[in-house]
Amino acid sequence: MSESVVVVGAGLAGLRTVEELRRAGFGGAITLAGAEAHPPYDRPPLSKQILAGTMTPDQVVLRNEDALRELDVTLRLGAKATRLDRMSRKVEFDDGTVLEYDHLVVATGITPRRLPIGTELAGVHVLRTIDDALAFRAELAEAASVLVVGAGFIGCEVAAGLRSAGQDVVLVEGQEQPLAGVLGPEVGELVARLHRAAGVDLRCGVSVAELFGTDRVRGARLSDGAEVAAPVVLSGIGSRPAVEWLQDSGLVLDNGVRCDERGRTNDPRVWAVGDVAAWWDPASGRHLRVEHWTGAGEQAAIVAGELCGTGSAERGVPYFWSDQYDVKLQGFGHFGPDDEVAVAFDDGRRFVALYSRGATVTGAVGGGVPRTMIKLRALLARGASTEEALAVVAATTTPVPSAVAQPAATADR
């Protein structure tokens, strides 16, 4: 195949697409373009090891120069895509560059939402890129306390890492529990317990009404009238798909770039993968945008196979993980708003929650129980019953005495 492919977005999904194209036998020219000046790197360590100083930016790079050279890919970094002209098959960038393509893969990911207040104050951060993480970390040493706004995955992971390092942390969440919008209130309450046990000042059901300070932030006034001293603030209030550059392209945009179940958009020469892509999910009958690390690789393999006409890759059971303190949260499956949720195991620190529709288990979330979660993943892959899942949980979990005081090494033996 001698056609050219341009991949816009040099993160995990973009890099995986390049790798999968070569693996599928694509012999044409491939260009990987990214807005950041950094080569493709892994994002999960940003909220953990990079902030803690246990890893350097060089250590999170996904492929070194030799590996990228072997892929025979042209890297164009440090320029942001600004416009797509589908009629002429061209992508325009903010440095004046124009790239022509035969096939285009959109992998531009997500953009963090910023607080609508205090934007003029120093000390207010978001966390999406290496540069974000380094700028945030540089201010932590001098901060007596840190305010984290939003108890989603990023907010919870940052709060856990900072608190583990001895930092005073106030974590504010507008919903009644952390992660409730994603995992439901039952699991949210179990996550809240982890943070409160670690000494995080967790305040749920309130929002930030005002950030005050002169040149830099000094604190916040919450919606309940309370004031919090905070010389450093992290906004973790969610994200949105990075599709601004596609607004006049004619692609269907609805909570991301809308695709069929194989990653193809309404233009047969344009595809989308990763956090920005809303793929059709036949099981649920709707378009889903899944912001999970493993999903990016699966989507890349499917798109590469479709482009080359050589593959039949399929998506596996959706999976995510989140490290908080000594507990690894793991989740499998799709969690819908109408699912029933039952906590099947809880010994005070470790837990398993099952999600179901009728008699069928649709998802599972566990904390500190990796062996149990591996077995539940197999059940989810074949559409097992909730009764079978409960039996697996009962057979693989044993309460640990005084579990709150136990380190993770004792869990789920």
Q: Give the pair of three-digit tokens for residue 409.
A: 């090494």
Q: How confident is the model at residue 305 (pLDDT cuts 50, 70, 90)?
A: very high
Average pLDDT along the chain: 92
- Are 275 and 241 in contact by the 8 Å Cβ rule? The answer is yes
Question: What pLDDT does residue 240 have?
Answer: 96
Q: What's the pLDDT tens digit per position in 180-204?
A: 988 999 999 999 999 999 999 999 9
Say whether domain 5-111+240-308 belongs to CATH 3.50.50.60.
yes
CA-wise closest residue to 363 among 391, 330, 396, 395: 330
Domain boundaries, the chain: 5-111+240-308, 114-237, 326-410
236: its two tokens: 């973790």
Q: In what order do the strands lie in the sheet with 73-77?
A: 73-77, 30-34, 5-8, 103-106, 270-272
Pairwise CA distance, residues 208 & 75, whole Å? 41
pLDDT single digits (tens) 200-218:
999 999 999 999 999 999 9
pLDDT value at residue 404: 36
Distances (CA, A) of 54 to 146, 154, 203: 20, 18, 29
User: Residue 301 — φ and ψ, nearest 5°?
Assistant: -65, -40
Confirm whether 5-111+240-308 and 114-237 share one CATH topology: yes
Residue 406 has pLDDT above 50, yes or no: no
326-410: CATH topology: Enolase-like; domain 1 (3.30.390)
% of the chain beyond a pLDDT of 70 = 95
| Whether the predicted pLDDT of 228 surpasses 50 | yes
Percent of the chain predicted with pLDDT > 90: 81
Output phi, psi for 342, to 5 deg: -135, 130
User: In 3D, which of 265, 272, 288, 254 has the Cα closest to residue 363?
Assistant: 288
The angle that helices 370-381 and 386-396 make with each other, rounded to 10 degrees, is 160
Evaluate if residue 351 carries a pLDDT over 90: yes
pLDDT score at 399: 66
AA letter at 143: A
- Which of 226, 206, 228 has its CA nearest to residue 217? 228
At what angle are helices 153-164 and 185-198 packed, to 10 degrees?
Answer: 20
**Does 3.50.50.60 match the CATH number of domain 114-237?**
yes
> Using 50, 70 and 90 to split pLDDT, how confident is the model at 119?
confident
Q: Work out the burial of residue 224: count CB atoms within 10 Å of its CB; fewer than 13 is exposed, 13-18 middle, 19 or more buried.
A: exposed
Residue 71 is classified by DSSP as T
Q: Sign of the C-alpha dihedral, residues 307, 308, 314, 315?
A: negative
Q: How far apart are CA 31 and CA 14, in angstroms?
A: 10
pLDDT value of position 398: 82
